[in-house]
């Protein structure tokens, strides 16, 4: 891992991905992915980089067209060859294949995030109703988000016990 002008060389020199938008789906191909692990001896981080991955993104709709959701799926290329020795402590045989595959790889091309932002903007402009439906589904999918929204809007009644009353509505007297 070498820094070039503050950026890791392997990321700076990544090939430029290609974006194709077709309907409500988009594919970014030629994405460089990074697998990471740490050396079991010196604990220093070690990254492997591989090209040829894709990122698929868009809006999935149900057959009825009433429900929609945003999606983003990373499909990395093949895992590169493992290093024979750690680049930091130079111990041989430090890595095993499974260690790098325990965590999902990350897309590291410098233009992947701006391309994804372009996908979301394009789909929102072309399909505003589907985008609004997907946004609402996304809001509801977060645990507790719907209840927080209703509390904020004053739609959820506060339990009477919190107001100092028992089940029958009488004031709590301290007796049980």
Q: What is the pLDDT of residues 94-113, one digit of tens each?
A: 777 777 777 888 888 778 88
Give the chain's domain count: 1
Share of the chain above pLDDT 70, in %: 75
Instruction: Please say if the pLDDT value at position 23 is more than 90.
Output: yes
Half-sphere exposure of 87 (CA within 13 A, CB side): 10
Half-sphere exposure of 162 (CA within 13 A, CB side): 3
Would residue 50 count as lying in a domain? yes
Would residue 8 count as lying in a domain? yes
- H-run or E-run covering 126: helix 112-126
Would residue 89 count as lying in a domain? yes
Would residue 75 count as lying in a domain? yes
Would residue 82 count as lying in a domain? yes
End-to-end CA distance of the chain: 68
∠ CA(33), CA(38), CA(44), 5° rounding? Answer: 110
Looking at every residue in the chain, the average pLDDT score rounds to 79
pLDDT for 1 equals 52
pLDDT for 87 equals 86
Instruction: Please say if the pLDDT value at position 79 is more than 70.
Output: yes
Half-sphere exposure of 47 (CA within 13 A, CB side): 16
pLDDT class for 142, splitting at 50, 70, 90?
low
- pTM to 2 decimals? 0.71
Would residue 155 count as lying in a domain? no
Strands (E), 9-146: 18-22, 25-38, 45-61, 68-75, 106-107
Would residue 44 count as lying in a domain? yes
106: domain range?
A: 3-143
Q: Name 34's bridge partners.
A: 49, 106
């Amino acid at each position: 891992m070498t820094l070039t002008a503050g950026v890791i060389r392997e990321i700076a020199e990544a090939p430029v991905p290609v974006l194709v938008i077709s309907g409500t789906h988009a594919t970014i191909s030629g994405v460089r992915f990074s697998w990471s692990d740490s050396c079991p001896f010196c604990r220093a981080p070690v990254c492997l980089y591989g090209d040829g991955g894709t990122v698929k993104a868009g809006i999935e709709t149900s057959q009825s067209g009433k429900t929609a959701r945003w999606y983003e799926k990373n499909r990395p290329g093949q895992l590169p060859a493992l290093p024979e020795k750690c680049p930091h402590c130079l111990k041989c045989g430090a890595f095993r294949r499974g260690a790098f595959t325990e965590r999902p790889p990350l897309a590291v091309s410098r233009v992947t995030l701006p391309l994804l932002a372009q996908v979301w903007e394009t789909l929102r402009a072309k399909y505003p109703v589907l985008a609004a439906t997907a946004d609402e589904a996304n809001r509801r999918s977060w645990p507790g988000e719907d209840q927080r929204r209703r509390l904020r809007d004053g739609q959820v009644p506060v339990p009477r016990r919190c107001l100092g009353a028992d089940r029958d509505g009488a004031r709590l007297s301290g007796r049980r």
